[in-house]
Amino acid sequence: MPAALPSLRLGAHSLPNRLFVAPMAGVTDRPFRQLCRRLGAGYAVSEMVTSRKDLWNSLKTSRRANHDGEAGPIAVQIAGTDAPMMAEAARYNIERGAQIIDINMGCPAKKVCTKWAGSALMQDEPLATEIMAAVVEAAAPFGVPVTLKMRTGWCETEKNAQRLALAAQDAGIAMVTVHGRTREQGYKGLAEYDTVASVKAALQIPVVANGDIDSPQKAKAVLDRTGADALMIGRAAQGRPWIFAEIDHFLRTGEALPPPRVQDASDWLIEHLHDHYSLYGALAGMRSARKHIGWAVRGLPGGEAFRQHMNLLESCEAQVIALRQWFAELADQHERLPVSTLPLGDDGGDTDDASSQKEHAPKASA
């Protein structure tokens, strides 16, 4: 695993490896997915798109549906609470290029949860099953596989992942990803893999393990513990998108790759930023690029001071010039990136993406 096993198939698609980028609202836009794929990820799921029809033409949703030049398969995640609306969202996205539809039952965002979407759906198994069946039925005529992403359960005493995963398999879902935390945990505590292992043991369809995978060694441990068919990595890829190549190499050879050259890391980031600016435009792009730059310099010598300075810069050109210079100075001191061992953020990720949640919150009537 991953290269030692035959490549994973999803419907008509054969994935180049079994290392996936997790969907992250506000992060895994098309430029970031392309960057991760270029640096070793075999598959990338888009940020969630609401099932609310009235928002499909909004700028945010249309950016999220931007797959220009993206290598397939194009996987679009949908979120919502109403089976017919979710079926329509699946058809709408398929007609606009989605080759795989992923149903979000993993997001703990409050505004989504009070309206019974995301991981809150795990609490209502009949509704969750109805949604899965409706989406599978909508996607079937197009030959589009439907996958499911969920957590281990609603709370510590209600870990129903295995039961729901079996219902998913019966409904025709093609692959299940399990983030090893309950909805109640948010991003607190540690991901546990026993529940992921039990889901894997119970299912015939592929199971993907997710949660807290932040190094090649951890990836191997999670794989050994769960027997999963693939691994999904989210936060550890922020600012470190080459983690996929590192994991792939370690799983194939048992050896750790050296950290990337400072010059390469700088080039990758700057190319990513240009792509990012062209998707979002100069002003919004300059602002939203700050988080990617902050992650890239996080834990590096002088990184925090640079991040604070960079947050004061008000143009894309100034960001790029400052970054080039900062990395050039780092490259004078270090040929390869000094290794940083910072913990993964536990800021709640998607729960912080307040503006996107407005868009994801279904109508009261939904």
Ligand X SMILES: Cc1cc2nc3c(=O)[nH]c(=O)nc-3n(C[C@H](O)[C@H](O)[C@H](O)COP(=O)(O)O)c2cc1C
Query: Which spans of this chain sit near ligand X (rule: CB under 6 A)?
Result: 22-27, 47-48, 77, 104, 106-107, 149, 179, 210-213, 233-236, 344, 349-350
CA dist., res. 84 & res. 91, Å (int): 11
Q: How far is the CB of 104 from ligand X (least distance, A)?
A: 4
CA dist., res. 11 & res. 263, Å (int): 39
Nearer to ligand X, 33 or 262 (CB): 33
Mark whether 107 is an active-site residue: yes
The pairing of strands 13-14 and 230-233 is unpaired
Per the DSSP assignment, residues forming a β-bridge with 43 are 20
Using DSSP's 3-state secondary structure scheme, residue 96 falls into coil
Write down how long the chain is.
Answer: 366
Is the CB of residue 45 less than 8 Å from the CB of residue 258? no
Using DSSP's 3-state secondary structure scheme, residue 205 falls into coil
Is the CB of residue 75 less than 8 Å from the CB of residue 50? no
Q: How far is the CB of 247 from ligand X (least distance, A)?
A: 12
Nearer to ligand X, 27 or 122 (CB): 27
Nearer to ligand X, 235 or 307 (CB): 235
The residues, ordered by sequence, that sit 6+ positions from 364 with a Cβ below 8 Å of its Cβ are: 115
- Chain residue at closest Cβ approach to ligand X: 349
Give residue for tokens 């295995």: 162
Quickly count: other Cβ atoms within 10 Å of residue 180's Cβ.
25
Q: How far is the CB of 302 from ligand X (least distance, A)?
A: 25
Phi, psi of 22, deg, nearest 5: -70, 145
Among candidate residues 107, 113, 155, 316, the one labeled active-site is 107
Give residue for tokens 């750790």: 256
Nearer to ligand X, 26 or 294 (CB): 26
Phi/psi zone of residue 153: left (φ > 0), alpha (ψ -120 to 50 degrees), beta? Answer: left
Quickly count: other Cβ atoms within 10 Å of residue 137's Cβ.
15
Q: How far is the CB of 233 from ligand X (least distance, A)?
A: 5
Using DSSP's 3-state secondary structure scheme, residue 190 falls into coil
Nearer to ligand X, 212 or 248 (CB): 212
Phi, psi of 338, deg, nearest 5: -60, 135
CA dist., res. 161 & res. 198, Å (int): 9
Nearer to ligand X, 48 or 167 (CB): 48
Q: How far is the CB of 133 from ligand X (least distance, A)?
A: 20
**Which amino acid makes up residue 86?**
M
CA dist., res. 349 & res. 68, Å (int): 26
Nearer to ligand X, 296 or 330 (CB): 296
- Compute CA 175 distance to the chain's CA centroid, rounded to the nearest angstrom: 15
Q: How far is the CB of 350 from ligand X (least distance, A)?
A: 3
Q: How far is the CB of 334 from ligand X (least distance, A)?
A: 27
Q: Which residues are the active-site residues? A: 107
